[in-house]
């Protein structure tokens, strides 16, 4: 393990690093799935019913939209990984991750069948809502990472300014 990463790991809260790595794994695995037919087809009810995403299909087609979403997820994973050495990249990745999970959480409101009508509808989760509800926790984690990166950048800017002018 690289010595500077080990020093950083010991200096920063372990939960922040675990959160970073959890998001990296999630973005890599879910991004990978977007390159296959089963995932492209599974996205159809989610994307086509979203007022924010439905433009993807007429513009890029089913597979093109899935590839774009996968590329975005892989980009966020790479930014989170590079952010180990550059907090500004963590800030960018965490902002993108927050936006991603805000968007995917909103799909609960727009996707038909999210609430199980056979047991009375809301608040009985259908299988799609059950899958998407985790994104609320991922949104909270992304916001936490965003806040941590912003604090880290602010502190390093202050330290640099204090050393130069102090």
Q: Where are the domains of the chain?
A: 13-165
Q: Could you list the pLDDT tens digit for every one of the 166 residues in the chain?
A: 567 766 666 666 788 999 999 999 999 999 999 999 999 999 999 999 999 999 999 999 999 999 999 999 999 999 999 998 888 999 999 999 999 999 999 999 999 888 777 777 677 787 888 889 999 999 999 999 999 999 988 887 655 443 433 3
Other CB atoms closer than 10 Å to residue 112's CB: what's the count?
A: 11
Other CB atoms closer than 10 Å to residue 3's CB: what's the count?
A: 7
pTM of the model: 0.83
Return the C-alpha torsion angle 154, 75, 34, 148, nearest 10.
Answer: -10
- From first CA to last CA, the distance across the chain in angstroms is 35
**Contact, 153 vs 87, CB < 8 A?**
yes
Q: How many CA atoms within 13 Å lie on the side-chain side of 28?
A: 11
Q: What is the DSSP string of 64-106?
A: HHHHHHHHHHHHHHHHHHHTTT-HHHHHHHHHHHHHHHHHHHH
Other CB atoms closer than 10 Å to residue 106's CB: what's the count?
A: 16
Return the C-alpha torsion angle 11, 14, 17, 18, nearest 10.
Answer: 170
């Amino acid at each position: 393990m690289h010595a500077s990463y080990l020093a950083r790991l010991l200096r920063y809260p372990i939960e922040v690093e675990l959160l970073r790595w959890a998001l990296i794994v999630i973005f890599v695995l879910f991004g990978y799935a977007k390159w296959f037919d089963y995932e492209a087809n599974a996205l159809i009810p989610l994307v086509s019913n979203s007022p924010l995403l439905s433009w993807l299909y007429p513009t890029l087609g089913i597979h093109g939209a899935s590839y774009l979403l996968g590329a975005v997820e892989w980009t966020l994973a790479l930014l989170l990984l590079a952010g180990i050495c550059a907090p500004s990249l963590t800030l960018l990745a965490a902002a993108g991750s927050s936006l991603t999970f805000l968007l995917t959480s909103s799909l609960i409101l727009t996707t038909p069948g999210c609430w199980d009508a056979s047991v009375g509808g809301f608040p009985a989760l259908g299988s799609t809502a059950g899958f998407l509800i985790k994104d609320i926790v991922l949104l909270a984690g992304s916001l936490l990472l965003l806040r941590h990166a912003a604090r880290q950048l602010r502190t390093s800017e202050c330290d640099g300014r204090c050393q130069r002018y102090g």
